Chains A and B, each alone.
Chain A
């Protein structure tokens, strides 16, 4: 009984609920397919924590066993979702989930988007490319001009939107 009396159940349940809700926000708002799957895994973390807490409260191993099965199913889910994402990526060359909104029923409206989201340009210059390592020595001869790397970035950035039309 001593373990029960010193146990504070409530705060663990609150942390589990917060993890679940944060995962739900990520799943609803992010548009990257991989981040959506990761947010679903965050929700599973919250559920596992709640189950383990309840198991400890009842002084039984059932919560832990259930969480281990959740872990197994989450692994299957991650493997299957990755191969699905790769198959989707092969078709659109993009991880944007909005590109698949054409799969909706014909009479349903377009998904909710902010007006300024329709602009197909990145506004923050620092975000248009990740930092690159300084190339060592002279760049090998290529077709086209020397500034090709930078324009390549710009083209691929705006192409994810233009494919939709």
Chain B
């Protein structure tokens, strides 16, 4: 009971958020979505008040909150949407928001590549398949979800334990220890820029990818080739033999 009193804010915020998400999931009963959204937003707000830190540059904080709220709200909208086309579009917005977070974590190449690959390629092909398969309109199976409350409860228990672990683990001390540890590690030298150098430049990332991870890059290329061959081999054909 003691730790419950200590962590009441975490438990209450995750409970509100989980209840909101569970109420928003599509079911046969028509519910007002307002209640679910109010509960979910209250949970997000409580969690945000716990995570708020006054230190650090203000611009990064503001950008972080914009992108983080965007990612989480669009993620909830995506998994609760009754229309798969809208769900795919919300997923594109989640992708943009998390690319903003990548940029804040000084990973510009990864952000650009994720936008191109996810929002540019994956979403478009998924939309093609949705529109090919669901020409008749809304379908029954999109209006019903399997055991929404049970799944939400289990997932939020997992989230609570994850956040509790992150909180217990002292990140500042761990970061300082990690910097001290660097001297002892001798592998992947090009992936570790000097402490006074910026991390995540295109130059440094390219050097790291094509020296430390050269074999992995070759393997990834081979994997892409095999996946293309497999996708063409598995895709259904028309009776006349063409794709």
Contacts and interface: CB of A to CB of B under 8 A. Distances in A.
Given A38-B88, A49-B102, A153-B137, A119 B121 contact: no
Contact of A35 (B71, B84, B166, B213): B84
A130 B84 CA distance: 12
Contacts of A37: 126
B139 A38 contact: no
B140 interface: yes
Interface in B204-243: 204-205, 208-209, 212-213, 216, 220, 223-224, 226-228, 230-232, 234-236
A105 interface: no
A148 to B, nearest CB: 13
B42 interface: no
A108 interface: no
Contacts of B174: 57
Contacts of B47: 14
Contacts of B27: 114, 116
Given A38-B87, A61-B193, A25 B155 contact: yes
Contacts of B155: 21-22, 24-25, 28
B139 A94 contact: yes
A7 B234 contact: no
Nearest to A156: B136
Contacts of B133: 34, 89, 94-95
Nearest to A53: B105
Q: B interface, by DSSP: helix, strand, loop or mixed?
A: helix
Interface in B130-177: 130, 133-134, 136-148, 150-152, 154-156, 158-159, 162-163, 166-167, 171, 174-176
B116 to A, nearest CB: 10
Contacts of A158: 140
B195 A1 contact: yes
A94 B79 CA distance: 19
B84 A32 contact: yes
Nearest to B69: A15
Nearest to B167: A10
Interface in B53-108: 53, 55-57, 64, 68, 71-72, 75-76, 78-79, 82-84, 87-88, 91, 94-95, 98, 101-102, 105-107
Interface of B: 21, 25, 27-30, 47, 51, 53, 55-57, 64, 68, 71-72, 75-76, 78-79, 82-84, 87-88, 91, 94-95, 98, 101-102, 105-107, 109-110, 113-114, 117-118, 121-122, 125-126, 129-130, 133-134, 136-148, 150-152, 154-156, 158-159, 162-163, 166-167, 171, 174-176, 178-179, 182, 188, 190-193, 195, 198-200, 204-205, 208-209, 212-213, 216, 220, 223-224, 226-228, 230-232, 234-236
Interface of A: 1, 3-4, 6-15, 17-19, 21-26, 28-32, 34-35, 37-39, 41-42, 45, 48-49, 52-53, 55-62, 64-65, 67-69, 71-80, 82-87, 89-90, 94-98, 111-114, 116-117, 119-120, 122-124, 127-130, 152-153, 156-158, 160-161
Given A59-B182, A123-B29, 14 more contacts: A28-B155, A34-B130, A41-B91, A42-B91, A61-B208, A69-B213, A79-B228, A79-B231, A83-B232, A83-B234, A86-B129, A117-B144, A120-B140, A157-B137
14 contacts: A7-B175, A10-B166, A11-B64, A14-B166, A17-B159, A21-B155, A59-B182, A61-B192, A64-B200, A68-B209, A75-B122, A116-B27, A128-B138, A160-B140
